Amino acid sequence: MEETPRKLPSPLLSLIPLLVLVVLLFFTIRIFGSDALGGGSQVVLLTTTAVCSFLAIVFGKVKWRAIEEAICNNILGVSVALIILLLIGALAGSWMISGVVPTLIYYGMQIIHPNFFLVSCCIICAIVSVMTGSSWTTIATMGIALMGIGEAQGFSTGWTAGAIISGAYFGDKISPLSDTTILASSVTGTPLFTHIRYLMYTTLPSIFISLVIFTIAGFTHEGTGMEQITSYAASLKEHFHISGGLLVVPLITGILIVRRVPSIITLFLSAALAGLLAVLFQPHLLQEISGMAEAGGESLFRGLFITFFGNTQIEMGNAELNELVSTRGMAGMMDTIWLILCAMCFGGAMTASGMLESILSVFTRFMHRRVNMVSSTVASGLLLNICTADQYISILLTGNMFKDIYKKNGYESCLLSRTTEDAVTVTSVLVPWNTCGMTQATVLGVATMTYLPYCFFNLISPVMSILIALMGYKIKGPIVPQEETQTESLS
């Protein structure tokens, strides 16, 4: 006996949780400001989850058990990401206190001219991300150092973070080592390198335009004079033991990443190595962090562990530098982890209730022409990033939902795989409650809405995808099935 298909709720009913989410987030952000991620946004997500669950149970006759299972599956799916977040917190603390980041900042301020800083940020992060296949690792390592250089040279945090994220997500999008690139190609049934080559038609114009904007912005920048940069460099050298030997940490980290050692192992080893060098190169700082008057093994042990898990403050004689070298360790990631868990609850409820599928079904009604089809895919990808709060879930749902539609209309699978990456991978970091948006905002110390206007590559990519579809450039299709062709010839 065949199972009766589940009746989906109406799109209007399905939109209610989204409207509640938007309204509550508007007031929460307006009232709490930058502190909204400290609890207010989490309460909003849980409240919206409750609204969605109530509507599903009362009007959709969905059992609570189904919603609960969907939430648990969502949380299970991001469990590795949560561990990575904790390790990034430990890595950020150990890289700073060991002197790795101060050394990169010290040399970077002398090598990178302010006029070319933003475009250099984008290019450096793009190269590292292509080599590593990970925007998260790129931002957690090179990104932190570049943020410090940007602050020293007088750039706003939004501009610097935008350049870093643009470069990092360019590499994440096209690298054959990237998990999102592999996922988008596999879920649509597209060969990996076919997918990457096809991505170039939208990705290269997007990054080129972004680099032009960052170059112009760098030349029009009127920031910190060379005197202050020299003062910052002198202060860093006075308080930290600056040494080229400390660069062995990012070097070994890069080797581990290129050799495709799992992220958790790589981050753990990198943080541990930086901790060892902190004991060797910066024992005076560990003693200061420990708060113990007497020097010795106990103070070093205490200071090192605080570096990994807690807040560290070093008096540099300058308020801006004090903020620059302060770290939050693993404890600083807890608000983000809390927010991710709440976001997964909302995504699970929307999926189990059928409301997400109902909303997305609206987009499929307009998929009769090529431009409408690509535009609907882009819109669906953006909506999924907002609703599911996870780029991996969004890629899977987008690919599976549109695969048959593209095939039916006679278009190659690489068009879908490219559009999915243009819509999902690069925009996930622009959603404040998405795992990517929350993570990068926490790691860089810049609110999502602050860096969003400057992530030009991430903003341009979805638009470029639609523009290329409008032009029809290098798009093969619709492919007329062989049987249909034979029928036409006979007639």
What's the CA gap between 232 and 278, in Å, rounded? 21
Q: What is the CA radius of gyration of the chain?
A: 24
Measure the CA dihedral 229/235/237/241, to 10°. Answer: -140
> Is the distance from CB of 354 to CB of 6 less than 8 angstroms?
yes
pLDDT value of residue 170: 93
Q: How far is CA 112 from CA 106, 144, 232, 316, 419, in A?
A: 11, 16, 15, 23, 35
Helix (H) or strand (E) holding 114: none
pLDDT value of residue 481: 44
Q: What is the pLDDT along the chain (491 residues), one digit of tens a residue?
A: 444 456 788 888 888 988 888 788 778 867 876 577 678 878 888 999 999 999 999 988 889 999 999 999 888 877 877 887 788 788 888 888 888 888 877 787 677 778 888 998 898 888 878 766 778 878 877 788 888 888 878 889 999 999 999 999 998 888 876 778 877 887 788 887 788 889 999 999 999 999 999 999 988 877 655 666 677 778 888 888 888 888 898 888 878 867 778 878 888 998 999 999 999 998 988 888 888 767 678 889 999 999 999 888 888 777 767 776 778 888 887 877 887 788 788 888 888 888 878 877 776 666 667 888 888 889 888 888 887 777 877 887 777 677 777 887 788 888 888 999 999 989 999 988 787 888 888 888 898 999 999 999 999 999 999 999 888 877 776 644 444 434 434 43
Q: To 5 degrees, how large is the angle CA 202–CA 426–CA 323?
A: 135
> Is the distance from CB of 143 to CB of 444 less than 8 angstroms?
yes
Asked if residue 262 has a cis previous peptide bond (ω within 30° of 0), the answer is: no
What's the CA gap between 81 and 436, in Å, rounded? 10
> Which of 180, 194, 201 lies closest to 413 in space, CA to CA?
194
> Which of 154, 152, 164 lies closest to 118 in space, CA to CA?
164
What's the CA gap between 144 and 132, in Å, rounded? 16
pLDDT value of residue 75: 84
The DSSP code for 429 is G
Query: Which tokens go with 201?
Result: 């038609």
The Cα diameter of the chain in Å comes to: 96
pLDDT value of residue 228: 63
* Site of tokens 């990198």: 270
> Which of 480, 302, 391, 355 lies closest to 77 in space, CA to CA?
391
What's the CA gap between 161 and 455, in Å, rounded? 8
Q: Write the CB contacts of 259 (distance below 8 Å, at least 6 apart in sequence).
A: none
What's the CA gap between 487 and 69, in Å, rounded? 49
pLDDT value of residue 3: 44
Model's pTM, two decimal places?
A: 0.69
Burial 143-179 (b: 16+ CB within 10 A, else e): bbbbbbbbbbbbbbbbbbbbbbbbbbbbbbbbbebbe
> Is the distance from CB of 311 to CB of 331 less than 8 angstroms?
yes
Q: How far is CA 331 from the centre of its chain?
A: 20
